[in-house]
């Protein structure tokens, strides 16, 4: 699984990134977590509000920081 956290490096983006890393670790899923800070790359996903969560090319979230459970649910649902 390829997970990308999109955002120019603001506080919300850091929060999302650590939530995602945390979820991947607890669930024991084989995934890479990458941060995308380049504006052109962010825009190429059609994302207009950061932070955004992209998993295997699909945008799952944009413009808000989800809570721990929601992140876990999204990743768990795809990991099976």
Partner 1 sequence: MSIAERTAARPVLRPWGLVGAAALCWAGLYVANEWVWDRLVFDVAGLEGRLGSAVHFFLYDTGKIVLLLTAVVFAAAVLRTFVSPERTRALLGGRRVGLGNLAAAGLGVATPFCSCSAVPLFIGFVSAGVPLGITMSFLIASPMVNEVAVVLLWGSFGWRVAVAYMGFGLVIAVVAGFVIGRLGLERWVEPWVLEVKAVSALKSARPSWAERFATGRGEVRTILGKVWPFLVAAIAVGAAIHGWVPEDFFVRYAGPSNPFAVPIAVVLGIPLYSNAAGVIPLIEALYDKGLALGTVLAFTMAVVALSLPEMILLRRVLRPRLLAVFIAVVGVGIVAVGYLFNAIF
Q: Which residues bind partner 1 (CB under 8 A)?
A: 7-8, 10, 12-13, 39-40, 42-50, 54, 57-60, 62-65, 67
Q: Quick one: 9 or 25, whose CB is closer to partner 1?
A: 9
Cα 42 to Cα 68: distance, rounded to the nearest angstrom: 23
> How many C-beta atoms lie closer than 10 Å to residue 25's C-beta?
11
Minimum distance from residue 64 beta carbon to partner 1 (Å): 7
Q: Quick one: 23 or 53, whose CB is closer to partner 1?
A: 53
Residue 39 tokens read as: 């504006």
């Amino acid at each position: 699984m390829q997970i990308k956290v999109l955002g120019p490096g603001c506080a919300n983006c850091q929060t999302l990134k650590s939530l995602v890393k945390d979820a991947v670790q607890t669930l024991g899923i084989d995934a890479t977590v990458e941060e995308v800070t380049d504006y052109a790359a962010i825009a190429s996903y059609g994302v207009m509000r950061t932070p955004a969560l992209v998993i295997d090319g699909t945008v799952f979230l944009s413009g808000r920081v989800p809570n721990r459970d929601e992140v876990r649910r999204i990743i768990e649902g795809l990991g099976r």
